[in-house]
C-alpha cells in the first residue's frame, strides 16, 4: 500500500482478504455465529471509516484482531447481550466439525482461550500477541503454557488425547 487514501477497490480487496479471519477471531470469542457476523461487519465498517493511509500486512492483521477483540469485549458488556439468548446456530457454519478443538477451547477462561487461539489458529507470535493484548511477553508466554496444560487436561478427560 502507498501513503494515499485507499481506493474503493483496495478497501474491498483488503476486506475480502481478512473478513474470514475477523469472523473466526470474533466467533471463538463470542461463541455465536450472528454476533460474530455483526462484529465482522462493525470491524469492516470501522476499517473503511478510518480511511487508512498506510500499513503493512502484519500490522494490518494485528489491527484487525485488536479491533475485533475490543468489539467482542464491548458486546460482552452490552445490556442487549446480557438479556438475549442466541439460537444454537453452529449449524450455520459450513464446516462445524473443524470447530471441535474450538469447542474445547471454550472451556478455558478468556485469556487462555484467546492466546491459544491467536497463537495456533492465527499463527501470531508471542510478541505479536503481547502487543495486541498489551501484556508483557512473559505474561503471554505463561498464559500459553498454562492454557496448553489446561487444554491437555480437558482433552484427556474428554478421551481425545492420550499421554
Partner 1 sequence: MIKDFFRPMDNIRLDKKVVDTIVFNSLNSDNKITELKHKNKRKRITIIAAVAAVLAVIISLSFIINIKSEQTASEKTKNGGYSFTLTANAAEIKNKKLGSNVIGAFEGGSSCGPYLKGQEGVGRYIDWFQQFDLSSFKISGDNIKSVTVSSKTKGVYFNVTPIPKIIEGDISKYNSTQSGLLVTLGGRSVLATNYKTEEEYNKARKEEMKKYSKADTLNNSQYTRNQLTGASYSGFFADFVCDSFTYNNTDKNRVIDLDYVIELTVESVQTKDNNVAKYLKIINEIEENENNYTVGIGNTDRLKKDSCLYKILKAVINKATIDVTVNYYNGKSETKSFALGSYQEDNGWFTWLTLSEM
Nearer to partner 1, 19 or 107 (CB): 19
Q: Which of 6, 30, 145 is nearest to 82 (CA)?
A: 30
Cell of 77: 458488556
CB of 71 to partner 1, least distance (A): 9
CB of 151 to partner 1, least distance (A): 6
Between the two ends of the chain, the Cα-to-Cα distance in Å is 48
CB of 106 to partner 1, least distance (A): 14
Q: Backbone phi, then psi, for 41, in 5-degree steps? A: -60, -45
Q: C-alpha angle with apex 43: 39 to 46, nearest 5 degrees?
A: 135
CB of 17 to partner 1, least distance (A): 11
Map residue 98 onto helix, strand or coil: helix
**Residue numbers of the site for partner 1 (CB under 8 A)?**
8, 11-12, 15-16, 19-20, 23-24, 27, 34-35, 37-38, 40-42, 44-52, 54-55, 59-60, 62-63, 66-67, 70, 73-75, 77-87, 89, 93-95, 98-99, 101, 104, 120-121, 130-134, 148, 151-152, 155, 160-161
Exposed/middle/buried for 45, CB within 10 Å: 0-12, 13-18, 19+? Answer: exposed
Amino acid at each position: 500500500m502507498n501513503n494515499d487514501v485507499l481506493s474503493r477497490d483496495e478497501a474491498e480487496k483488503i476486506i475480502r482478504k481478512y473478513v474470514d479471519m475477523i469472523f473466526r477471531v470474533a466467533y471463538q470469542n463470542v461463541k455465536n455465529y450472528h454476533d460474530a457476523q455483526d462484529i465482522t461487519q462493525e470491524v469492516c465498517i470501522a476499517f473503511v471509516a478510518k480511511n487508512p493511509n498506510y500499513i503493512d500486512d502484519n500490522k494490518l492483521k494485528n489491527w484487525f484482531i485488536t479491533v475485533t477483540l475490543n468489539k467482542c469485549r464491548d458486546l460482552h458488556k452490552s445490556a442487549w447481550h446480557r438479556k438475549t439468548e442466541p439460537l444454537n446456530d453452529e449449524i450455520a457454519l459450513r464446516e462445524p466439525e473443524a470447530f471441535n478443538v474450538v469447542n474445547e477451547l471454550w472451556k478455558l477462561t478468556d485469556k487462555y482461550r484467546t492466546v491459544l487461539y491467536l497463537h495456533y489458529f492465527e499463527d501470531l507470535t508471542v510478541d505479536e500477541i503481547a502487543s495486541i493484548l498489551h501484556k508483557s511477553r512473559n505474561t503471554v508466554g505463561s498464559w500459553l503454557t498454562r492454557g496448553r496444560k489446561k487444554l491437555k487436561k480437558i482433552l484427556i478427560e474428554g478421551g481425545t488425547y492420550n499421554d
